[in-house]
Structure 1
């Protein structure tokens, strides 16, 4: 049994991730593979364990934001293809080759210089490259057909790089107006047709993120990039309301009450700035979680947690490591379990609800959860593994 000396933790339901993967497998065309996106520590869920589980249950490849994230997976013994979606400086090409991590590229000069670097290093295997095509995201990617052809020709001529993929990214696939998504799709297809007309055989083609996969399964091509949906969250309320794929949230955030105090003799101020005054007889509980854990300071005097299946409000300002909640005049004691995100006795505080309260998206709420919070991986109702920087047994 793992002993936590700071009693706040995340529970990741691996069975939910498995069911979400299966739901997408049944939804997309049989020919389409799944690339599991595990960037940002798997959207706060824990990259290594989620990656392993995803590969066991239908994903064939992985995607990360930067090379460092890919190296973490390699060091953990993961051998599946890993693609870096972001820009990789030339100074890191040698490391990418050494760790067999695929890179995104979209500049001819970068391709030529990367080839020179690897030739100088006399590497024994060719580094895989996916070409990123900008069809409307405006972030990264090649934008003109002539540039794309020059990149393909440079890759074809290279002895140390190999072309294994081409992709684009939709910017509004989670919105009801599908005009731009359709335009992006048509533009991407025109790029592919342009290459085919030059007699070029295409590698793996991918364009769909979670939102596009649900709204446009016919765009799934050779592979989809499954991010937020794998974790049981929808990219937007619109996509959720389509009711096309049933998803199960995989993450719960929990803590135990560290201290309970009752205002017996006089009202008392709570937390920095004295923005809340507890009434006589009011019971205040302190929880060991704060904004350094990813629980936003914007939830001060606004958020809620679940105690004994009952919603209780966050009172006073959220501090770096602790928050206070009001139990009203109800019972509560040190050591009681409190649910911050998730379900308890039929009640729920969803990540989507918290995101709406913060005027942000569920992606941010989960991905900003600190690595210092232990992750408990649950399978078949049992703790399979615990991941934490410091554990006492």
Structure 2
């Protein structure tokens, strides 16, 4: 738990990242799936938390695998010196297949064109590619359709026999695991088991079979198979808020977003606030300026709704969120320039959480943390010795 000021004096704002909390979250999630390997999903700059630092912390906590969406993310992890297994899955034709093969990264193949490209890359690199095949069990995004799966698995096995690939995994992704008892869950489990049987019929013997994302890890033990892939839960956000908050699953939010007030001033009643004057002061009051805006990732649709802890109380964004700043009305309370405003954090000091922001904005907490931009410095605490 962080104590003392959140923001160094030289900075206007920070996203404080508690790596001790992240390691604790990995341990808690591993306890939910004790028989499975653990893939720490660090795509999208670790959901806005800082990819390399969070990947290192997850490795320290025992994560055997790292998961990245794009090959560029996976290569950046390698370039940062992170060893061990890394999987990436979002490919387009002409991608850096050879670079990933040479870096020892496991690559996902969802169609014959991708298998053809990775085989060519493996031949050029003169080493076999580590390939994981993805089946579309119902999400409708990436992954081979069931009708195309037998052909893809047979072609992958033929590439194995010629020595250009090694099929290390078979996997898929749930569509509605965050909705307990949704009928798609059972259908997709059945489809995945069928795909595994067909892969075996083709002669494939993958190291890992995996399906469970964060909600699957926490609520669907039958979906754990050989490995689980927690993403947002690793950062201390509940993936199933209908069932409970982070603490109910032994998790703790990792990011705290705070800024130092840039201005505090008295204004008369009837004073317009921010663009469009959607908010007009009801009487004489004190306005505080928070130097964060939509260029930093604060949602513009939080205008008039976003909660902020200032001077010991929850306030609401007054008027529109601008590109670099927004205003809160302190009423009769006082504050001073340089005082801290906390947009969200674990909630220990009464501050809002990312889930509170999600409810205020009509979105999910995943988006709230992931959208915090690079203009907000990440400050890390809880590094391992």
- Unaligned runs of 5+ residues in structure 2 are none
How many Å apart are 1:88 and its aligned residue?
3.9
Structure 2 residue 141 is the aligned partner of structure 1 residue 142: no
Aligned residues: 378
Q: Which moved more, 1:301-310 or 1:266-275?
A: 266-275
Match of 1:188 in 2: 192
Name the stretch that deviates more: 81-90 or 142-151.
Answer: 142-151
TM-score normalised by L of structure 1: 0.90
Please say if 1:354 is aligned against 2:357.
Answer: yes
- Residues 239 and 213 from structure 1, CA distance in 2 versus in 1: closer, same or farther, beyond 3 angstroms? farther
2:112 aligned with 1:108 = yes
Structure 1 partner of 2:47: 43
Q: Distance in 1 between matches of 2:34 and 2:10?
A: 48
Find the partner of 1:373 among 357, 376, 384. 376
The DSSP-based 3-state class of the residue aligned with 2:242 is helix
Deviations 1:113-171 (A, max 9, x none): 4322432x3x2432211101111011111123422432332331343322111101110
Q: Is the Cα–Cα contact under 8 Å of residues 214 and 244 in structure 1 kept in the other structure?
A: no
Q: Does 1:96 align with 2:100?
A: yes
Listed one character per residue, the Cα deviations across residues 319-371 of structure 1 (whole Å, up to 9, x for unaligned) are: 10011111111110011111111257741311111111211111111111101
> Structure 2 residue aligned with 1:83, among 72, 83, 87?
87
2:22 paired residue among 17, 21, 32 = 17
Q: Aligned pair in 2 of structure 1 residues 24, 86: CA closer, same or farther (>3 Å)?
A: same
Aligned to 1:221: 225
Aligned to 1:269: 272
Q: Does 1:254 align with 2:258?
A: yes
The Cα of 1:91 is off from its aligned counterpart by: 4.0
2:249: which partner in 1? 245
Distance apart, 1:384 and its partner CA: 8.0
Change (3 A) 1:200 1:98: closer
Give distance in 1, aligned partners of 2:162 and 2:266: 72
CA distance in 1, matches of 2:283, 2:346: 30
Name the structure 1 match of 2:312. Answer: 309
TM-score between the two structures when normalised by the length of structure 2: 0.91
Give the secondary-structure state (helix, strand or coil) at the position aligned to 1:226.
Answer: coil
Confirm or deny: 8 A CA contact 2:271 2:280 kept in the other structure: yes
Contact 2:311 2:334 in 1 (8 A): no
Gaps of 5+ in 1: 386-393
Q: Structure 1 residue 299: deviation in Å?
A: 1.1
1:129 and 2:134 matched: no
1:280, distance to aligned residue in structure 2 (A)? 4.3
SS in 2 for 1:82: strand
2:331 is the alignment partner of 1:331: no
In structure 1, what is the equivalent of residue 205 of structure 2? Answer: 201
Distance 1:5 1:243 in 2: 33
What secondary structure, in the 3-state scheme, does the structure 2 residue paired with 1:183 have? helix
In structure 2, distance between residues paired with 1:240 and 1:188: 28
Question: 1: CA distance between counterparts of 2:204 and 2:75?
Answer: 32
Q: Distance in 2 between the 1:243 and 1:317 partners?
A: 33
Distance 1:136 1:263, change over 3 A: same
Alpha carbons of 1:115 and 1:139: their partners in 2 closer, same or farther (altered >3 Å)? Answer: same
Partner of 1:28: 33
Task: Measure how far apart 1:218 and its partner are.
Answer: 2.8
CA distance in 2, matches of 1:76, 1:289: 30
Q: Alignment partner of 1:162: what SS? A: strand
Change (3 A) 1:344 1:306: farther
CA offsets 1:20-61 (integer angstroms, 9 cap, x no match): 11111222133x110000001101111110000000101111
Q: Greater CA deviation, 172-181 or 105-114?
A: 105-114
CA distance in 2, matches of 1:128, 1:102: 5
| Contact kept? 2:294, 2:322, Cα under 8 Å | yes
Deviation at residue 11 of structure 1 after TM alignment? 0.8
